[in-house]
Chain A
């Protein structure tokens, strides 16, 4: 749930910012604030260090550790190069888009800073649209560069583009029009339909070895049930990022961590395999994850604490869909779910409130103390508050860092788990 609701309720909009009811022709009141409005500079130092932190191990694995075919190395390098161009464009376009969004009253107030001067600032909302559009352009150009007109992967690529684009559209419509939450839940279902058509893979699962005597089979063909699982995975990925939110930089941060984990996983699978199709599946995932990673980093430059922009449901839906798409079409959805472990825990822990058994407030945010500048955990049942209750009060920035470290550690643990369990259950 995007927690920074723009004041779209009419009476709230009417109260400030125009104190005198206006009869005298004062100049259009956004003009002064638009001139006054200047986005804080992006936190490029932080972002570029994170980017370097990603690029070094990635290129090490690609060029040194694994013997990857030279044409695959070439295409992946092109992918990285184009994605970096996308990063530059994202950073360049966000300030531009901000002006247009503010002009259309698409902004919110930072509830976690209420009571301080920063809590009065109008923070532009829905900047996820910039990330998504740059992503789509980069992904489309990548398609031209890495695939030929008769490649088998053209179907998957176009289906992925269609799904991600449709999800972005629905997310943006939601941010603009504020659709009811029941509709919000159903939207990912429609957006995932092109995926159903394009998934031309096996719908069977491998039964873990210990369970084979009970099931009676070692491979079970789920058929249509697998397609239902795919739809559920899409709905889960999109909404789980949406509810594990509420702190500056949390939504984008978790996406960055997960997509980097996916990229490393893809490289490791390419390096460890000799099957062409299998390698192609993971290369396909790389071609989608790199633009997601770099455009998200561009967004994070402005969204990291203290946020000068908010990302909107557009971003969380777009990111969730992209991750689900690569998991499904790259045939590694189980691994993807392992990377989503914090989101799963957050969802499970939130269930009582989500289903109404426990009272669910509008925003399940921590309480902000203006005196100390620290956040205090409430009784709300989500990871954000749980961390505050377990590890004590802290600033918003440290809480976000703690949660992202938890995300990174659980991804690392999943790599370990896969390695250990590989012989045991498959």
Chain B
């Protein structure tokens, strides 16, 4: 749920547009927090390149490594484009009255500022251009996506789904569509994915359950396809409800996509099956542009936010990650990375389904005196953390939640590494 409602009530619109002529020149976004974002970028690129060029030098073929390098280069251009276009777009969005007020600063002067909304549209468009450019560059350099390659189907299906989701997200941000539409349309957006999924629909039964089930491999058929659609609807909406703090939506996406990228490299290094590697390269081609475009957005959205990302961003990010999880065949791992979102969703269920009263925004309470957030009894992770660990500033709360996200992801990655290493030492 996007928590910063723009003032769309008409009489306020008339007044604010009467005010706009003088204020239009006043919009100057706070400078982007480039130091922070570039350090995050460096912190990611160092282990990424280590895995790519040192640790898995032997295991990953040179053509794959070079194509990933091309992808990194183009994605970094996307980062620059994102950071440059956001201030430009912010002016246009503000002029069209697409703004909100920061509810977590209500009572302070910052709470009265008009914060441009729906900047996710810039991220989304930059992502699409970068993703297509990567596709073209890699095929032009003839690395592994040729015009008649199998992965072209998956790639185009991914683009179509993600693009449709960005469109729906932006239409939602502009028109404020009812929630029933918000739930139904992602179902249709997920359908090209279902068509393009040309993989197994069977799951491996855990060994200790085999006696009960009677089989070691169970073919789910169309149920698996339903699961895929549910996964898409879940990923898009779960990021949307684990929100409300400056930088939380983009921050969690950055953490999860870094984890996915490292996971992709580890799996490529551990495998000898070319199709398996291709699946993970495909994921990298989508996650890298997502990561860099999101970092460009985070430069403006990190606390204190000078822009808001809108449902456009959360839908886009959720869809992108669901797409790579499904088409890269690691959706179970994806759900593990999404554990905080899963917990937040489960914990929120009573309020979401109306069993417990659900206010418009399930935000913490802001105390203008102390500048700290206090947890309400709303049932989501944001308030839970405040209740468990005490009041704190919005920035520290966001950092705590992101650390929680990172810990989960990296615990999983470390367990995976250990498991892989032990499998090598004791081959079965």
Q: How far is the CA of A175 from the CA of B128 in the complex (A)?
A: 20
Q: How far is the CA of A106 from the CA of B177 in the complex (A)?
A: 15
Choice from A29, A158, A193 contacting B132 with Cβ under 8 Å: A193
Whether A29 contacts B14 by the Cβ 8 Å rule is: yes
What 0/1 pattern do residues 162 to 205 of B give for CB contact below 8 A with A?
A: 01101110110011110000000100100110111110000000
Known A-B contacts A176-B174, A194-B156; A8 and B195 likewise in contact (beta carbons under 8 Å): no
Q: Does A140 contact B (CB under 8 A)?
A: yes
Q: Does B351 contact A (CB under 8 A)?
A: no
Question: What is the distance, in angstroms, from B147's C-beta to the closest C-beta of chain A?
Answer: 5
- For A137, the chain B residues whose CB sits under 8 A away are 185, 188
Known A-B contacts A158-B156, A158-B160, A169-B125; A30 and B171 likewise in contact (beta carbons under 8 Å): no
Known A-B contacts A133-B171, A161-B192, A193-B133; A198 and B20 likewise in contact (beta carbons under 8 Å): no
Q: Does B152 contact A (CB under 8 A)?
A: yes
Q: How far is the CA of A28 from the CA of B124 in the complex (A)?
A: 34
- For A197, the chain B residues whose CB sits under 8 A away are 132, 135-136, 139, 147, 152, 155-156
Q: Does B153 contact A (CB under 8 A)?
A: yes
- For A154, the chain B residues whose CB sits under 8 A away are 153, 157, 195-196
Known A-B contacts A8-B96, A104-B174, A198-B156; A165 and B8 likewise in contact (beta carbons under 8 Å): no
Whether B195 contacts A14 by the Cβ 8 Å rule is: no
Partner-binding segment picked from A51-59, A141-149, A292-300, A368-376? A141-149
Most chain A CB inside 10 Å of its own CB: which residue of B98, B136, B164? B164
Q: Does B21 contact A (CB under 8 A)?
A: yes
Known A-B contacts A11-B21, A136-B164, A194-B132; A22 and B11 likewise in contact (beta carbons under 8 Å): yes
Whether A149 contacts B195 by the Cβ 8 Å rule is: yes
Whether A149 contacts B198 by the Cβ 8 Å rule is: yes
Known A-B contacts A14-B17, A22-B11, A158-B159; A100 and B175 likewise in contact (beta carbons under 8 Å): yes
- For A123, the chain B residues whose CB sits under 8 A away are none
Whether B147 contacts A28 by the Cβ 8 Å rule is: no
- For B8, the chain A residues whose CB sits under 8 A away are 103-104
Q: How many A residues have CB within 8 A of the partner chain?
A: 56
Q: How far is the CA of A140 from the CA of B21 in the complex (A)?
A: 44
Whether A177 contacts B24 by the Cβ 8 Å rule is: no
Whether A140 contacts B188 by the Cβ 8 Å rule is: yes
Q: Does A10 contact B (CB under 8 A)?
A: yes
Question: What is the distance, in angstroms, from B138's C-beta to the closest C-beta of chain A?
Answer: 10
Q: Does A166 contact B (CB under 8 A)?
A: yes
Whether B92 contacts A177 by the Cβ 8 Å rule is: yes
Q: Does B278 contact A (CB under 8 A)?
A: no
Most chain A CB inside 10 Å of its own CB: which residue of B13, B15, B176? B13
- For A104, the chain B residues whose CB sits under 8 A away are 8, 97, 174-176
Whether B192 contacts A198 by the Cβ 8 Å rule is: no
Whether A28 contacts B9 by the Cβ 8 Å rule is: yes
Q: Does B399 contact A (CB under 8 A)?
A: no
Q: Does A206 contact B (CB under 8 A)?
A: no
Q: Does A162 contact B (CB under 8 A)?
A: yes
- For B14, the chain A residues whose CB sits under 8 A away are 13-14, 17-18, 22, 29
Question: What is the distance, in angstroms, from B278's C-beta to the closest C-beta of chain A?
Answer: 16
Whether A143 contacts B195 by the Cβ 8 Å rule is: yes
Known A-B contacts A159-B156, A177-B96, A198-B156; A18 and B196 likewise in contact (beta carbons under 8 Å): no
Known A-B contacts A18-B11, A158-B192, A166-B163; A10 and B175 likewise in contact (beta carbons under 8 Å): no
Known A-B contacts A18-B11, A18-B14; A168 and B196 likewise in contact (beta carbons under 8 Å): no
Q: How far is the CA of A411 from the CA of B212 in the complex (A)?
A: 68
Choice from A22, A26, A105, A200 contacting B15 with Cβ under 8 Å: A22
Q: How far is the CA of A13 from the CA of B19 in the complex (A)?
A: 11
- For A140, the chain B residues whose CB sits under 8 A away are 188, 191-192
Whether B159 contacts A176 by the Cβ 8 Å rule is: no
Q: How far is the CA of A29 from the CA of B188 in the complex (A)?
A: 36
Q: Does A190 contact B (CB under 8 A)?
A: yes
Choice from A8, A105, A168 contacting B167 with Cβ under 8 Å: A168
Question: Which B residues between 74 and 124 are near A, CB-CB below 8 angstroms?
Answer: 89, 92-93, 95-98, 121, 124
Chain A residues at the B interface, C-beta cutoff of 8 Å: 8, 10-11, 13-14, 17-18, 22, 26, 28-31, 97, 100-101, 103-106, 129, 133, 136-137, 140-141, 143-144, 147, 149-150, 154-155, 158-159, 161-162, 165-166, 168-170, 172-173, 176-179, 190, 193-194, 196-200
Chain B residues at the A interface, C-beta cutoff of 8 Å: 8-11, 13-15, 17-18, 20-21, 24, 89, 92-93, 95-98, 121, 124-125, 128-129, 132-133, 135-136, 139, 147-148, 152-153, 155-157, 159-160, 163-164, 166-168, 170-171, 174-177, 185, 188, 191-192, 194-198
Closest 5 CB pairs of A and B: A30-B10, A158-B156, A161-B160, A177-B92, A162-B159
Q: Show 29 residue pairs from A and B whose CB-CB distance is below 8 angstroms, ordered by the A residue.
A: A13-B17, A13-B18, A14-B14, A30-B11, A97-B175, A100-B176, A104-B97, A104-B176, A133-B167, A140-B192, A144-B194, A149-B195, A155-B153, A155-B156, A158-B157, A162-B163, A170-B125, A173-B121, A176-B96, A176-B174, A177-B89, A177-B95, A177-B96, A178-B92, A178-B95, A193-B129, A193-B133, A194-B132, A197-B156
Additional A-B contact list (18), CB under 8 Å, known A104-B97, A158-B159, A177-B89: A10-B18, A13-B18, A14-B18, A22-B15, A29-B10, A104-B8, A105-B10, A133-B167, A137-B188, A141-B188, A149-B198, A162-B160, A162-B163, A169-B163, A177-B93, A197-B136, A197-B156, A200-B147
